[in-house]
Structure 1
Protein backbone atom coordinates (compact mmCIF):
# COMPACT_ATOMS: atom_id res chain seq x y z
CA UNK A 1 0.00 0.00 0.00
CA UNK A 2 1.24 3.51 -0.76
CA UNK A 3 2.83 5.01 2.40
CA UNK A 4 0.96 8.31 2.11
CA UNK A 5 -2.36 6.58 1.58
CA UNK A 6 -1.66 4.24 4.50
CA UNK A 7 -0.66 7.14 6.76
CA UNK A 8 -3.63 9.25 5.70
CA UNK A 9 -5.98 6.38 6.52
CA UNK A 10 -4.33 5.81 9.92
CA UNK A 11 -4.42 9.51 10.80
CA UNK A 12 -8.15 9.63 10.10
CA UNK A 13 -8.59 6.85 12.68
CA UNK A 14 -7.07 9.14 15.32
CA UNK A 15 -10.30 10.96 15.92
CA UNK A 16 -11.26 14.30 17.39
CA UNK A 17 -11.74 12.93 20.91
CA UNK A 18 -8.27 11.40 21.00
CA UNK A 19 -6.84 14.63 19.56
CA UNK A 20 -8.48 16.58 22.41
CA UNK A 21 -7.22 14.10 25.03
CA UNK A 22 -3.69 14.53 23.60
CA UNK A 23 -4.03 18.31 23.76
CA UNK A 24 -5.16 18.10 27.40
CA UNK A 25 -2.40 15.65 28.28
CA UNK A 26 0.28 17.98 26.88
CA UNK A 27 -1.38 21.04 28.50
CA UNK A 28 -2.03 22.39 25.00
CA UNK A 29 1.68 23.18 24.54
CA UNK A 30 4.48 21.97 22.32
CA UNK A 31 6.37 19.34 24.32
CA UNK A 32 9.76 20.63 23.19
CA UNK A 33 9.47 24.44 23.25
CA UNK A 34 6.27 25.12 25.26
CA UNK A 35 4.64 27.16 22.47
CA UNK A 36 0.90 27.18 23.23
CA UNK A 37 -1.83 26.16 20.82
CA UNK A 38 -3.01 29.77 20.48
CA UNK A 39 0.55 30.98 19.88
CA UNK A 40 0.97 28.30 17.21
CA UNK A 41 -2.19 29.45 15.44
CA UNK A 42 -1.03 33.06 15.65
CA UNK A 43 2.57 32.35 14.56
CA UNK A 44 2.03 29.61 11.95
CA UNK A 45 -1.70 29.94 11.17
CA UNK A 46 -2.09 26.28 12.18
CA UNK A 47 -2.68 24.31 15.37
CA UNK A 48 -0.07 22.23 17.14
CA UNK A 49 0.77 18.96 15.40
CA UNK A 50 0.08 15.49 16.70
CA UNK A 51 3.28 13.67 15.73
CA UNK A 52 4.44 10.08 16.10
CA UNK A 53 7.27 9.62 18.61
CA UNK A 54 8.28 6.45 16.80
CA UNK A 55 7.91 7.53 13.20
CA UNK A 56 5.06 6.05 11.18
CA UNK A 57 7.62 5.18 8.50
CA UNK A 58 9.48 3.08 11.09
CA UNK A 59 6.40 1.16 12.20
CA UNK A 60 5.09 3.55 14.87
CA UNK A 61 1.38 3.23 15.59
CA UNK A 62 -1.07 6.07 15.85
CA UNK A 63 -1.96 5.64 19.51
CA UNK A 64 -1.95 7.92 22.53
CA UNK A 65 1.17 6.11 23.71
CA UNK A 66 3.06 7.03 20.56
CA UNK A 67 2.04 10.62 19.93
CA UNK A 68 3.55 13.88 20.98
CA UNK A 69 2.22 17.42 20.63
CA UNK A 70 4.66 19.65 18.72
CA UNK A 71 4.63 23.04 17.06
CA UNK A 72 5.43 23.24 13.37
CA UNK A 73 9.10 24.17 13.91
CA UNK A 74 9.77 21.40 16.44
CA UNK A 75 7.93 18.85 14.32
CA UNK A 76 10.05 19.73 11.28
CA UNK A 77 13.23 19.55 13.39
CA UNK A 78 12.21 16.15 14.74
CA UNK A 79 11.35 14.65 11.37
CA UNK A 80 11.66 10.86 11.64
CA UNK A 81 14.31 10.99 14.39
CA UNK A 82 13.71 9.28 17.71
CA UNK A 83 12.79 11.64 20.54
CA UNK A 84 15.96 10.84 22.55
CA UNK A 85 18.04 11.92 19.57
CA UNK A 86 16.09 15.17 19.25
CA UNK A 87 16.37 15.91 22.97
CA UNK A 88 20.10 15.22 22.94
CA UNK A 89 20.51 17.86 20.23
CA UNK A 90 18.71 20.58 22.19
CA UNK A 91 21.59 21.42 24.52
CA UNK A 92 19.79 19.94 27.54
CA UNK A 93 21.91 18.19 30.15
CA UNK A 94 21.56 14.42 30.60
CA UNK A 95 19.54 15.09 33.74
CA UNK A 96 17.19 17.47 31.89
CA UNK A 97 16.72 14.93 29.08
CA UNK A 98 15.89 12.25 31.66
CA UNK A 99 13.36 14.60 33.27
CA UNK A 100 11.73 15.30 29.88
CA UNK A 101 11.46 11.56 29.20
CA UNK A 102 9.91 11.03 32.66
CA UNK A 103 7.51 13.91 32.01
CA UNK A 104 6.52 12.34 28.69
CA UNK A 105 5.94 8.97 30.32
CA UNK A 106 3.63 10.61 32.88
CA UNK A 107 1.73 12.45 30.15
CA UNK A 108 1.25 9.25 28.14
CA UNK A 109 0.06 7.28 31.16
CA UNK A 110 -2.48 9.99 32.01
CA UNK A 111 -3.79 10.12 28.42
CA UNK A 112 -4.19 6.35 28.16
CA UNK A 113 -5.87 6.08 31.58
CA UNK A 114 -8.21 8.94 30.73
CA UNK A 115 -9.19 7.40 27.40
CA UNK A 116 -9.82 4.01 29.06
CA UNK A 117 -11.87 5.68 31.81
CA UNK A 118 -14.10 7.39 29.27
CA UNK A 119 -14.44 4.20 27.21
CA UNK A 120 -15.41 2.17 30.29
CA UNK A 121 -18.11 4.67 31.17
CA UNK A 122 -19.40 4.31 27.63
CA UNK A 123 -19.39 8.08 27.28
CA UNK A 124 -17.60 7.73 23.99
CA UNK A 125 -17.52 4.91 21.45
CA UNK A 126 -14.03 4.41 20.07
CA UNK A 127 -13.43 3.59 16.44
CA UNK A 128 -12.59 -0.16 16.33
CA UNK A 129 -9.24 0.41 14.56
CA UNK A 130 -7.86 2.79 17.20
CA UNK A 131 -5.19 1.53 19.55
CA UNK A 132 -5.17 2.58 23.19
CA UNK A 133 -1.83 1.08 24.14
CA UNK A 134 1.62 2.13 23.01
CA UNK A 135 3.57 0.03 20.56
CA UNK A 136 6.84 1.25 22.07
Structure 2
Protein backbone atom coordinates (compact mmCIF):
# COMPACT_ATOMS: atom_id res chain seq x y z
CA UNK A 1 0.00 0.00 0.00
CA UNK A 2 1.36 3.39 -0.89
CA UNK A 3 1.15 6.49 1.17
CA UNK A 4 -1.46 9.07 0.08
CA UNK A 5 0.03 12.54 0.67
CA UNK A 6 -3.45 14.12 0.78
CA UNK A 7 -4.57 11.84 3.58
CA UNK A 8 -4.70 13.50 6.96
CA UNK A 9 -4.54 10.90 9.72
CA UNK A 10 -5.83 13.45 12.21
CA UNK A 11 -8.99 13.96 10.23
CA UNK A 12 -12.04 12.27 11.77
CA UNK A 13 -13.79 10.05 9.17
CA UNK A 14 -16.75 9.55 11.49
CA UNK A 15 -17.99 13.04 10.66
CA UNK A 16 -18.73 11.91 7.10
CA UNK A 17 -20.80 8.85 8.05
CA UNK A 18 -24.09 9.16 9.90
CA UNK A 19 -24.32 7.44 13.23
CA UNK A 20 -27.43 6.17 14.96
CA UNK A 21 -27.36 9.34 17.04
CA UNK A 22 -27.39 11.48 13.88
CA UNK A 23 -30.12 9.56 12.05
CA UNK A 24 -33.26 8.63 13.99
CA UNK A 25 -34.21 6.04 11.37
CA UNK A 26 -31.79 3.60 12.92
CA UNK A 27 -33.47 3.80 16.29
CA UNK A 28 -36.31 1.45 17.10
CA UNK A 29 -38.29 1.59 20.27
CA UNK A 30 -38.81 -1.67 22.17
CA UNK A 31 -42.58 -1.36 21.62
CA UNK A 32 -42.26 -1.27 17.84
CA UNK A 33 -42.95 -4.32 15.74
CA UNK A 34 -40.15 -6.38 14.39
CA UNK A 35 -38.39 -4.58 11.51
CA UNK A 36 -39.25 -5.67 7.98
CA UNK A 37 -36.76 -7.95 6.30
CA UNK A 38 -34.77 -6.39 3.53
CA UNK A 39 -36.52 -6.26 0.22
CA UNK A 40 -33.58 -7.69 -1.68
CA UNK A 41 -34.21 -11.26 -0.55
CA UNK A 42 -35.59 -13.49 -3.27
CA UNK A 43 -37.95 -16.34 -2.57
CA UNK A 44 -36.60 -18.88 -5.05
CA UNK A 45 -39.59 -21.23 -4.71
CA UNK A 46 -42.09 -18.48 -5.50
CA UNK A 47 -39.97 -17.24 -8.39
CA UNK A 48 -39.66 -20.73 -9.87
CA UNK A 49 -43.40 -21.26 -9.35
CA UNK A 50 -44.22 -18.10 -11.29
CA UNK A 51 -41.72 -18.99 -14.00
CA UNK A 52 -43.21 -22.48 -14.29
CA UNK A 53 -46.76 -21.12 -14.42
CA UNK A 54 -45.82 -18.62 -17.13
CA UNK A 55 -44.10 -21.35 -19.14
CA UNK A 56 -47.14 -23.62 -18.90
CA UNK A 57 -49.41 -20.73 -19.89
CA UNK A 58 -47.20 -19.92 -22.87
CA UNK A 59 -47.19 -23.54 -24.04
CA UNK A 60 -50.98 -23.80 -23.68
CA UNK A 61 -51.41 -20.54 -25.61
CA UNK A 62 -49.16 -21.79 -28.42
CA UNK A 63 -51.01 -25.11 -28.64
CA UNK A 64 -54.40 -23.37 -28.75
CA UNK A 65 -53.21 -20.95 -31.45
CA UNK A 66 -51.75 -23.74 -33.57
CA UNK A 67 -54.97 -25.75 -33.23
CA UNK A 68 -57.12 -22.72 -34.08
CA UNK A 69 -55.17 -21.82 -37.21
CA UNK A 70 -55.11 -25.45 -38.38
CA UNK A 71 -58.91 -25.51 -38.06
CA UNK A 72 -59.15 -22.26 -40.03
CA UNK A 73 -56.84 -23.65 -42.71
CA UNK A 74 -58.92 -26.82 -43.02
CA UNK A 75 -62.13 -24.77 -43.16
CA UNK A 76 -60.70 -22.57 -45.92
CA UNK A 77 -59.54 -25.61 -47.91
CA UNK A 78 -62.94 -27.23 -47.51
CA UNK A 79 -64.67 -24.08 -48.74
CA UNK A 80 -62.33 -24.00 -51.73
CA UNK A 81 -63.30 -27.60 -52.60
CA UNK A 82 -67.00 -26.95 -52.08
CA UNK A 83 -67.11 -23.95 -54.39
CA UNK A 84 -67.47 -25.40 -57.88
CA UNK A 85 -66.86 -22.54 -60.27
CA UNK A 86 -67.37 -24.67 -63.39
CA UNK A 87 -70.47 -26.49 -62.14
CA UNK A 88 -72.95 -24.71 -64.41
CA UNK A 89 -70.56 -24.96 -67.36
CA UNK A 90 -70.18 -28.71 -66.86
CA UNK A 91 -73.93 -29.20 -66.76
CA UNK A 92 -74.36 -27.19 -69.96
CA UNK A 93 -71.46 -29.04 -71.64
CA UNK A 94 -72.99 -32.40 -70.73
CA UNK A 95 -76.36 -31.35 -72.13
CA UNK A 96 -74.89 -30.00 -75.39
CA UNK A 97 -72.63 -33.03 -75.78
CA UNK A 98 -75.63 -35.34 -75.31
CA UNK A 99 -77.58 -33.40 -77.95
CA UNK A 100 -74.68 -33.50 -80.43
CA UNK A 101 -73.74 -37.15 -79.94
CA UNK A 102 -77.14 -38.80 -79.70
CA UNK A 103 -80.33 -39.32 -81.66
CA UNK A 104 -83.40 -37.29 -80.78
CA UNK A 105 -86.63 -36.11 -82.33
CA UNK A 106 -86.50 -32.46 -83.35
CA UNK A 107 -89.95 -32.35 -84.99
CA UNK A 108 -91.87 -35.66 -84.81
CA UNK A 109 -94.75 -34.38 -86.99
CA UNK A 110 -92.44 -33.65 -89.91
CA UNK A 111 -90.17 -36.65 -89.24
CA UNK A 112 -87.11 -34.50 -88.45
CA UNK A 113 -84.53 -36.28 -86.32
CA UNK A 114 -81.21 -35.07 -84.99
CA UNK A 115 -78.34 -37.46 -85.52
CA UNK A 116 -74.90 -37.53 -83.89
CA UNK A 117 -72.70 -34.75 -85.26
CA UNK A 118 -69.93 -37.12 -86.35
CA UNK A 119 -72.41 -39.17 -88.37
CA UNK A 120 -73.96 -36.01 -89.86
CA UNK A 121 -70.53 -34.67 -90.93
CA UNK A 122 -69.64 -37.99 -92.58
CA UNK A 123 -72.97 -38.03 -94.42
CA UNK A 124 -72.46 -34.45 -95.68
CA UNK A 125 -68.92 -35.26 -96.87
CA UNK A 126 -70.23 -38.34 -98.76
CA UNK A 127 -72.97 -36.26 -100.38
CA UNK A 128 -70.45 -33.68 -101.62
CA UNK A 129 -68.14 -36.41 -102.87
CA UNK A 130 -71.00 -38.01 -104.83
CA UNK A 131 -71.93 -34.65 -106.36
CA UNK A 132 -68.37 -34.08 -107.50
CA UNK A 133 -68.19 -37.58 -108.93
CA UNK A 134 -65.61 -39.13 -106.78
Range into which the TM-score falls when normalised by the shorter chain: under 0.3
Bigger Rg over Cα: 2
More helix by share: 2
Task: Return the TM-score normalized by structure 2.
Answer: 0.21
By relative contact order (CA 8 Å, sep 6+), the higher-ranking structure is 1
